[in-house]
Amino acid sequence: MANQNSNAGKVVIIDTSCANLSSLKFGIERLGYQVEVSDKADVIKSADKVFLPGVGAAGAAMEIINGKGIPQIVRELEQPVLGICLGMQLMTEFSAEGNVDCLGLIPGQVKPLQAEGLRLPHMGWNTLSQISDHPLFEGITGQDYFYFVHSLCVNPSEYTIAQCEYGQAFSASLCNGNFMGVQFHPERSGKSGARVIQNFLEMKA
Amino acid sequence: MLARRIIPCLDVKDGKVVKGVKFRNHEIIGDIVPLAEKYSEMGADELVFYDITASSDSRVVDKSWVSRIAEKIDIPFCVAGGIKTIEDARIILEMGADKISINSPALANPELITELNRRFGQQCVVVGIDSFFNKEHNQYEVYQFTGDETRTQKTNWTTFDWIKKVQEMGAGEIVLNCMNQDGVRQGYDIEQLKLAREACNVPLIASGGAGAIEHFIDVFQQADVDGALAASVFHKSVIEMEELKNVLINNKVEIRPC
């Protein structure tokens, strides 16, 4: 549980209205942290840690968050921001899903997963490889399983801090300065996922 | 490597978890949330909650327990039963379910699959199929309203045509419940699942017939399914999750250890 030495500070989930917000909220609360869900600029800007969740199709999601003015708010954030699943994909420059411009926080593009005859979506528990020493993955090894569910992906690049493999290698996690993202759902990935959420919340800004 | 999933299924009736044999004679197993927590802690990879009364008596699934489950467990879960509209699905997903599964309503209106896909994404649209082998016609046939035996009826769909159709409409996963095997613990219907696998390019989950650890080995090794669903063997502790997973790992099935 969170203690007085916690680095988490104020935690905010951006209300993207296109995501399963409650499961992420519950996942954070299970670890003993308080969290607020908001789409208001002042609330998001005043947070110490920010989550950008997303589920569904990139085109529809960008339409919703553009309508709420969220891109402008997020681009100005200097505190740690963690995009989850589609939220991570939206942090890149462009998605082939609906051919939409994304937030451009992390260089890269979202493309269909080349699963080489394997079933799509890539759905279920998978392990990571090429796990960097980034603090987000402290205590995480190639033995930890995470829950993935997606059909598009970001190819590995210099911004990739962990990979996963399903027909092809792809970015399980990206990082560009304070902007981080994970393709898997940490809030649905048992103890391993809880560790990643905790690592993010306890990260020193 | 992507792990094969072990999926306990909790049939829900009037807010309690129940188990029947061949869809009949339901006995109460226990309360939903403590059982969900127990299975999650035991090492289940995913849970399915199926309101077995909802479709057949025209009620929408009683949703209050969905968010109570989402609050407690840290693995994905799917809710099935009586989801007929985008709005029904939206409420359940907003309460924290990861997927919704539709069965009879998809048969009544296949467009619903496409609508759900467009609104929420392919990943959360599961189609459940109740399939019965008709010896007279020598074919697998799809049934609907199986939650209530007085209303259960055969559809005009053969199972493999329906499997193809739901994929065309945008299903993200298929749960194939082999009714001849359901609740009798004689093993999964490997022959049918093999045929289904050939017709299925999205994740395929086997359901019906699990009674022993060997049945899980067989269904993964022979039918190449992505997940295996089971109810009574877990409810009645016929199989321990940890032992099941260890045996599967020893048999070279890719499994997330407990």
pLDDT for res B120: 86
Q: Which residues of A touch B96 (CB under 8 A)?
A: 20, 22-23, 26
- A185 is an active site residue: yes
Query: Nearest-CA residue of chain B relative to A29?
Result: B71
8 Å CB contact of A150 and B123: yes
A62: phi > 0 → left, psi -120 to 50 → alpha, else beta; which?
alpha
pLDDT for res A19: 64
pLDDT for res B21: 53
Q: Which residues of A touch B201 (CB under 8 A)?
A: 119-120
* Å between A158 CA and nearest CA of chain B: 23
User: Which band of pLDDT confidence, cut at 50, 70 and 90, is reported for residue B146?
Assistant: confident
Q: Which residues, listed in sequence order, are joined to residue A5 by a DSSP beta bridge?
A: none
* Å between A91 CA and nearest CA of chain B: 19
Q: Which residues of A touch B3 (CB under 8 A)?
A: 124-126, 145
A92: phi > 0 → left, psi -120 to 50 → alpha, else beta; which?
beta
pLDDT for res A185: 96
pLDDT for res A114: 95
- Asked whether the CA dihedral B245, B246, B250, B256 is positive or negative, the reply is positive
Helix (H, G, I), strand (E, B) or coil at B86: helix
DSSP class of residue A136 equals G
pLDDT for res B17: 84
The answer, yes or no, to whether residue B23 has pLDDT greater than 60, is no
pLDDT digits (tens, 9 = 90+) for A130-181: 999 999 999 999 999 999 999 999 999 999 999 999 999 999 999 999 999 9
Work out the angle at residue B48's Cα, subtended by the Cα atoms of residues B43 and B53, and round it to the nearest 5 degrees.
145
Q: How far apart are the first and last CA of chain B?
A: 16
- Asked whether the CA dihedral A124, A127, A133, A137 is positive or negative, the reply is positive
Nearest in space to B174 (alpha carbons), one of B140, B214, B138, B225: B225
- A78 is an active site residue: no
Query: Nearest-CA residue of chain B relative to A19?
Result: B94
- What mean pLDDT do residues B66-84 have? 92
pLDDT digits (tens, 9 = 90+) for B93-133: 888 999 999 999 999 999 999 999 988 888 889 999 999 99
Mean pLDDT of chain B: 90
Chain centroid to Cα B29, Å, comes to 18
* Å between B81 CA and nearest CA of chain A: 20
User: Which band of pLDDT confidence, cut at 50, 70 and 90, is reported for residue B152?
Assistant: confident
The answer, yes or no, to whether residue B187 has pLDDT greater than 60, is yes
Which residues of chain A fall short of a pLDDT of 70?
Answer: 1-5, 18-20, 205
The answer, yes or no, to whether residue B25 has pLDDT greater than 70, is no
What token pair was written down for B4? 């094969």
pLDDT for res B58: 52
Q: Which residues of B touch A31 (CB under 8 A)?
A: none
What token pair was written down for A39? 């789409």
Query: How far apart are alpha carbons A180 and A200 in whole angstroms?
Result: 9
* Å between A89 CA and nearest CA of chain B: 14
| Least confident window among A94-108, B11-25, B214-228 | B11-25
8 Å CB contact of B119 and A190: no
pLDDT for res B150: 79
pLDDT digits (tens, 9 = 90+) for B42-61: 999 999 998 776 544 555 44
Strongest mean pLDDT among B82-86, B133-137, B146-150: B133-137
Beta carbons of B176 and B126 less than 8 angstroms apart: no
pLDDT for res A4: 52
Query: How far apart are alpha carbons B173 and B125 in whole angstroms?
Result: 7
8 Å CB contact of B95 and A22: yes
A117: phi > 0 → left, psi -120 to 50 → alpha, else beta; which?
left
Query: How far apart are alpha carbons A172 and B205 in whole angstroms?
Result: 25
